[in-house]
Each structure stands twice: as C-alpha cells, then as structure tokens.
Structure 1
C-alpha cells in the first residue's frame, strides 16, 4: 500500500505517495537508492533489444528534481541506485562504478549549471525561464555520464570501437531528454493537481483527457488506424492534444501526456511500428527530435499559460484586496464627478450617515451638507476644479436621523473625477468641545479644586476654592495644602490617608479644615493622582465641597429615619436594629431578653371624639409614661399608630418583666389631660422572651403581637404571655387559608340541609337552610365556624357563596318538581359578598332564570349589621333582590344593632330568632317575652318569623302559642346531606313508606 517515504516532502508531495510501506523508515539516501534503481530498471526494460540505447533516462531527471526541490547530499542515493540498477542487468563492476560516478557528477553538474544561469530557481516550476534554465543545463551535463558510460563499456569489451561515437550521442540524447521531461515532471507532479474532479462536468473532461492521452499515443505510434490520416504524418496530430492539455490541465496535463508519449512512442519504435521505426538508430534519433520539439513546445506553452493565470490571479487578488480595503476601511472613501455627484462609495458611509449606498450614489453631496457649510464646500470644489488638492477641509453632513456629523476631507481631482478620503471627526470635535467645557467647568465649578505638583506644592486652584476657603491663588501658590489643617484630625488619620494615596493613588473622605478667617468647616474631598509613564507622581488633583450644612441635614434626616417625630421614640427601623443587637448580646452573655408589645385600648374613640391633634398629644404623654416605667438601658419604641414596644435587656429574673408590665398598665389607666378634657385609655400587652420563646427578631415580634391580641380577646387592660398554643392557632389559621384556595376546585365542599318546619301544620317540612361543610382530605369534616371567617378575610367567600347558591338552586328545583312545588331553600350571604364589583349581583338572578324556577325559591339570609351598612353596593343589591322577587331573611335577629326602619325599606320577608333566645324559654321568662315581642312586631310589619335552635317539645309549644310561623332545630332534624333530606321529604309525602 502507498506510504510516506522519508524525503521531508509536504503531505501533498506526489513523490511521497508512491513507495511501499516497508521503505517508510528508510533514510533519504536509502529511499533514493530504491527509487533510482527502480527507475533505472524500468528504463533499461524500455531499451532496444540489445540494450545499447534508450530514448530518455528518467532516473537522473528525478534525482535532479529532488535536489532542486529539497537540496541536501543525495549523491549516496544516486551512486547506490545506479549500482543496484547495473547489477540487476549483470554489468561488470568497473562499468557499474563508471556509470554510478557519471550519473552522480551529471546530476550535480546540472544543478550547478541551473544555478549559474540565473538567480532564484522556483522549485514549483511555474515560470518559463525555469524550464529554459533546465534545458541547456540538461544538454550540457548529459555528456558526462554519456562519455563515462560509453568508454566504460568499450573498455569492458561490451561495445565496439566503431560504435563509440553513436553510443555517446544516443546516451547523451537519453540523459538530456530524461532531464528535460523527467525533472519538470517530478517537480510538478510531486503535488497532485487540484480541481480535476471538482464537479461532474469537470471530472468527465478529466477522464476524457486521461483516456485520450493513453489512446492517442497508442494509436499514433503503434500504427493503428494509420490509413485514416492520409498523406499527413499522424504524429503531428498530437499537438492538438498538447494544446488541449496546456489550456485545460496546465503543467500537470502536458507533462503527463509527454511521459505517456515518450514511453509508448519508444515502445512503438521497439516493435517497428510508426514512421520512427524505419531504422533503429535513425528512427530513435528522429523520435528524440520529435519528442524534444513536443516537450519544449508543450512545456513552454503550459508554463506561459500558467504564468498568465498567476498574473491574472494576482491581479484579481490585488483588486479584491484594494476593494476589500476600500469597502472595509474605517475611513470614508468616495469618488465623485466634478458636479459633486457620488459615483462610488465604501460601506463606511452607510455606517456614518445611516443612508444606504444606493440612497447616496448619484446624489449631489451638497444635498447632505449643513446649510452653514455649503458656501465653503463650493469653494473647495472650485479649487479641485482648478486641479488643486484640498486637504483637512471640514464640513458637516446630515445623518439619516437628522443629526449632523463632522467630516474631515483630503481630496484631489484627476480625469474629471474627485477622489476623496475622509474621516468622521464628530467624536474628536465632541472631545475638543468637552476639553473646552472642562476648562470652563474647572474655572466656574461650584466644587472647589486644587492641583499640586509631585512635591505637593499647590500650582493651581479655581474660583470655588477661593470662595470656600477665602484663599486666593497668590496666597497658596507653591505652598503645601497643610495650611488648611484645622487640627481636628489625629496624625493617624493623615497617615492612613497618605498610605491610601501612595498605594492606590486615590483617597476620599471627610476632613475638618480651617478657612482663612479661622472658621472650621467640614469638607468632602476626593484626591486623585496622575502618574507619569514610569509610575512616579506627576500631579495630585483634589476636589472638595463644603458639607457643613449637609452634615447638619444628614443628622436631621438620620433622626427622622430612625425616630418617631411625634414621640421622639425610636421608630420601627431603629427598634428592629436595636432588638437584633440585644438578641445577639443576650445570646453571647447567656442572658434573657424580654419584649413587650403594647397596644392602646379605645384609642380610636379618643382620636375620633377629640380630634387627631388631641390623639397626637395622647400618644406623646403615653410615650413619656412608658419611658418612666422602664430603666434607661431599656428601649421604648413606637411602631406606628397606637402600637409601642419595650425591649428589656440584661434580664436576670422574668418576674421583673411582669412588674414592668403591671406598672405600664397602672400608668396608662390613669386619666390623660388633653386640653380641657380628660381621656381614659388602657393597654393590652403581649410578652415574649428570648431565647425561651424565639431567638429570631421576626419571631419575637410576631409572638409578642399574638400575645397582645390574646390579651385584647380576654377583655383588655391586661398583659398576656406568649404560649405555643397561640402560634399553633395562628398556624392553623394559615393552613386553613391556604387549603381554602384549593378546596373548591378539588370538590372538597358539601352542602347539608337542615329542615324548617311550619309549626301550625303539624311540623310539616316546607323549607330548608343550606349549610356548607368542608370535607378536608386530611382533617376530615371542618365546620363553618372554623373557616367562614377566614374565607371572608381572604375573599374566597365570594366563590364559595356562589357555589352554595348554585347547588341549593339546583336542589330546590329538583325537590319542587318531585315533592313540594313551593319548597324554599335559604342561603346565607356574607356581608363581604355585598361588596363585590357586581353592583346588583345579577349573577344569582340570571342563574335562577336559566333554571326557570319561581322567584321565591331562594331566600337570602343576611345579618342585622348589614342593614346598618349605608354602602351603595349593599342597598343596590338588596333592592335588586326585592325587584326580582328573591325573599330576604334577617338571621340571628336580636343579637346585633337592630334598625327597625330598614326592615320595611329593604322589604324583609323573614326574621330568624337567634337560638340564644329560644334555648332558655320558660313560663314568665324574659326570653319568652322577647320572643313574643319579636313575633308580634314582625307580624305587624307583615314579616314572618322563624325560630332557630328548637331542641325540646316545650320550646316548640311556647313558640307555637306565641304565633311563631316556622321552627328550625335538632327537635326536628339535624343538618343532613341532600340524599338523606330527600328521604325525609319522600317519607313526608308518603307516610306509609316510613314502615318500609
């Protein structure tokens, strides 16, 4: 298989692709021995019958090619290769030695002659002059081996004296032709041709050329089809093939054809075919002349064409390079006619002006010039028309977005065209403007500036420096900035400042300095160092401003940010910061810390009754009393509104916290004098400890807040310690609120129905109240009292209420169709539901219309407090229910603030007596009197009464005698699922079924 012989050739070198793998590790001489001996053997095989002559001797040509391409000592390879070839054909040792020496000297002589004939030889063999140098070198050097070899044969008795001249001449011809063809062939074909098989059409042409290069010489020199050519010698038709190869396949094609012609032509002579075979010697000599002419003509033609192609390629590349430079240059290049119309422009114009090249080409550039620059631009064009170059001309061009770009020109005119090179100097102009502006800023800045040299001597100041310090330039020029020192800062302060300047070149901070009039002021100063290229100090620049008033303002801002402006107590921000510090300190010192959360009771009454100014005064007095109840080391803070906190640090005995809490309650329960009025308030206090209850600030505050609410719920004016049960209750509240959002979507709710009986009709069930139950997947059934309030807080009550209504409406329609045509279901409606965006709550009435139900099928139960809500939403929705025909019931009547006038205003149909009145009914009891009064009043107003919570027959009898219309309670039935309720209705409709 092919391998790389060690000739140090490039990877595409053809000479490295022709030898078997077992020579891969041979040195250069060893490789050349094998190559030379193989070539020599093949040449001898192609010789005439007696081996007394050959047409061309390729080994020396290949050896010369290797020497021209790679150089180096190759003579050992030539000698050994020649000897190996001689021994293969049984030559005597003297003859072998003479031939080996002659071949070696011949190759080196040709190499020397080629280098003598001219300068650099291109080993790529791409120039005609390189072939012209090989031609005479080959003709002259070929005599060496011809003479030495012929005389060696004569001396050995292998050739006759009469044949000596002929042998020398033919030997010379073969060696010369071997170098004329072999050397170019080896130089060119050491790299395979490119693009011969690049695509299908090209590959087809290449195959045709190679096939014809084999067929044509065979046909011409083997006497095939000779009669077709007539009187014209067919050998000269080969020039057409040479011409095709030179134009289409270059040097590779011509040299391949020449090698094939030389080989097949000489075989034709050997076989006695073709015109060159009339006589062995004469025919071979004629063929040699023919081959020489064909070789010189073909090689020179190919080289001339190759040189032309290289020149055209170089010109193309140069043109492409210039075009690339023109089109991709960072500068602006353009060509315009003398009328000022753009002819050609590079892409940089589009980047600078925003217009496309198509928009600019053919347009007069004066259309884009700033109006103020048109006259100067026309004068510059006039100078160009007079063949005067225009350099460093500046004008402005309009950008596509309407802005103007500064352009600097260098232009010249030639042959009626203007050639211009330009540069966008907009940024440079801006930089110049900035420099001028910087100078103005320096002199007119309100910030004082001072510049010192490398020895810290003042060399420049601005007006603001003088205004700030009172010193003029004459006062400070050449002096050290120490003249401003106030003496307030310690030497260590200045040491740290200079250490920063020397290490980083920059320092900033506050300094107390002294003005010329000896006043002390505070300045904020920034010092920067400008270094020389070698790293030494060149200048120091100090910028400073008087921040004396700013410092006072910052102190005021800090106070306002950390203290309550009304009570002058720490606010929430400072309180949390101090609490964090005290918690860390308590943990470090292994001490306890107490936190009191104080909330005033009935403060809103004072604020609303006496006004906000008196409320503020009350808070100020509360703050003073709180501070009087604690130690100076403790912290009293106001969180906002009427909420205060007390941090009791370094607590050794928790009893002390209880004493402070009781003192606070006692102090705040005393009357407050507010103007001419006395005000009474109390406080609810929540107490928590760190680290017993919590070690995190957020937890401490939250637990204290929970304990405070527990104190309020227990009756106010008391303190309460935090317990884990409080947190558990809060967590349960959070879990219920979280789970409520998914409960409706997951169908976790169920509607239970409690019967409402008509007392005068032997307790016949005529109504039902829809009551929701939550079947929690983890906690089981949860009663409404545990989650309705939370649903109202989170707003989920709106979706839950709508769902209950739809379920109850569907159930009512089903029971009306199957049992009682006037069956009613009561649905509780939370006050929160009356504050939705739907002003009249038309969704419920629309749903009843879709179900095609009687309008009084649903009774909406509301609380008494809702009637007192003068909200527009509430009134609109209640009136909408009245207009539609939906009946309204007041639930738990008598437990709230009753406003009897609203009973008729909103057309209330039912009053439900709360079970707190029915539970203790007895002859002569006040509860019985109240129930009778409610019933009488309701009937007078045309309102029917439903009594809740009836559990005994006695309660039922009292209410029946009092004229109560309906009853509801465990005496009749508990709330039940719809299927159980339906069995109750079925049993009532068919009493006989109860025995089933």
Structure 2
C-alpha cells in the first residue's frame, strides 16, 4: 500500500524534509564538531560526508573530500586494502571492528590507526555504503617500540639502565596515560602520576598491594587479573578493555590497556608493564554510530532493519517457548493533510508524539518501531488471547485519537491499526509484517480510527 494518501509530490516533499532533518543531525552531533576521524562512503568507496577531524587529517576541507577515494589520499597498497575491506562489508553486511592497521602516505610519515567500519543501511535495510571511525594509535605503537628498545638497553649495562630510567621517569611523570608496573604476585611496584589520579591513591599507598586489595570493581577484575597472569605465564603482550563506574556524575569510564612482560636483564619475566588510556569518548562515538544504523533518526525508535531482526528472534524463540506473538501495524489517518495544513516541522512533532504515546502503552520487552513516514509497528511477545490482542489494539486507537496540542494549536488525530499473530516457529517475519499491514489497510478502508485483527 502507499505510505501516504495523495500525490507522489507530497511524498517526495516529506521524504526530502526527513532527509534534511537527518543531514542536520549529522552536522550537529557527529561531523561538524567531531575531533574523531569519522566518514561516510558510497557503494564505490567514495567519500560522501566526513568529520572536521577527518578533513584536517588530510589537510582538506570536508567539501573538498567529497567524491575522493583512498586512492587519492594514501599509498596505493594501503588504499587497495581499505577498498577491499569496504567492498567486503558491502557484500556481506559484516562490520570490521577495531582493526589496527598501518596507514602509508605519499610524502608523509606512516601512521597507525584502529578502525571500525560498518555497513550503512537505508530505511529499508538496504546497504547503500559504509561508515567508519578511526583513532590514531601511533603514539601507543611508537611508545611500545620505544619500550622494547629501552628493554634491550637495560640488558647492556647498569649504567645505561640508570640513564634510561631517569629519562623514562620524566616521560612517565608527564604522560596523560596511566603507566603501571606489577610484580609476579600482581602487586604494584610503580605507577605514574596519571595512574595515581585514576586510582585515587599515591604510589606509597599502592606499592605492594594488588588491584583487588585496593577495591577495583569485580567485573573489571574478572578481565584484568587473568590478562596479567597470561602475560606472566607466556611473556606475550595482551590488550584488555574494561569499564569502571566513576564517582558522582561521572558514570561509566572505558579504558584500553596494553600489557607487556617486564623482563630482567637476562630475559626472565619479573612482572607486567601496563599502559592504560581512557577511551570513553571513542566508545560514545561508536555507540552513536551504531545507534544511528539501527534506529529512526526522528523518533529514536527501532528502524525497519532492527525491527525485522527483533521479529526473527521472537519467532525463533517459539521453538523453545510455545506462545503467541502479535505484530501491530499503525498508520496515522490523514497525515498528508496535517503536513499540508501545518507544515512539515509541525508534522514531525506529531510523529514524535505518536511514537511517545505508543511507547508509553507498550510493555517492557515490546519493540516499538517506525518504518518511515506515518507508519509504526509494535511487536508484542507472549500475548495470551484474541481478546487480549483486541484490548491492546483498541488502546492504541484510543491513545492516538487524543488531539495533538501545542500552545494554542490543536490538531485532531486518529489512527488505523491492524494486527497479525503467529505461534508458528516456521513463520516468516516478512509475511507477518505483510499480514499486519493488510489488516491495517482493512481498518482504514472500513472508516479509519479503528482496529482490525487479521482473520477475526
């Protein structure tokens, strides 16, 4: 069925306004103020949008980067590897997460980055390109190389060891990352000033104590202690990510640690060296990108791609827990007239309130989604009877029949609601959605502002 009643021109105007709102969201929240390297590419791996940080890295403006590819910016070997990764993501839909790679430049020193790349999908779930975020880890890589060189130097002579330790102390004291040294029993032997601030204790208070003894949170210890022991046992480096709950309003803080064996001059492992960086801002940026890939930009509800995944998971659960799932398809009546009379901005506000009303009626565990335009879907699992289904559908109709009010403006609202149910673990998510859509169409055909259950 058509998404709106009326002419195709009106539909195009609404979709253009929606796309414009999405562009505004890019600019305000991700790209224009981002220091991170964030970029969006089309199916040919051409840049279509980039963050200010990405453009600065390439010594260009965001507009100058549009239409370019990695072949215009990097050494051909690196550009070819990046292109192959992105084309594989487009073919398979599988993301590449936190891949460390060496960026080779033409006329510039090489750099190291950790990159995450994802498929970019439209409202119908079709892959239309890729998007990614990279963080420069050159300093950490160079620091690891420098640490290795210093470790070799300590094996040469005690005099050189003293000199290097003096130089290293100056670096460590000024570092913003936490640098710590542990013995074989996981007790602190050293921590730099940044680490003292993170732990909230001085070195003399930490020395000869373990992280467990100073009260590190249990969920972090479950990752931290085994990683330290593996480095001691194998001598091989490890990387670990963990989060800690901050004090007051700080919330969760994410940390990335590189662990390396601390060796005596003869090569025996005598402890562990740990370099820890706060990566909370990167985690928040990654979550924002992941959320945009699965949620509607206007209402914050699940989009079609996430909805279909939720339906598939719910149907799969019927194999182990026989019960009945119901899909409600909600279409706002005469929404074109609202847009034509009050404008698209007011129309968007109406859609946001429709989303809020549906969400307030949904149970915990239900999925509320927006397919696009004025079409919404609610997935309810474990509905006991047809009477219960009708009760839920009638409540949706009643809630959406309340007028929209903003100041002196009052807009009459109503919605047509259809539903389809299944208890068959072999049923198809797309068929269930199609049946609910057909039931909604019957409700609209029979006069609107009502509920219709398929086959009742």
- Tell me the TM-score normalised to structure 1 length: 0.25
Larger radius of gyration: 1
Name the structure, 1 or 2, with higher relative contact order (CA <8 Å, separation 6+): 2
Higher strand share: 2
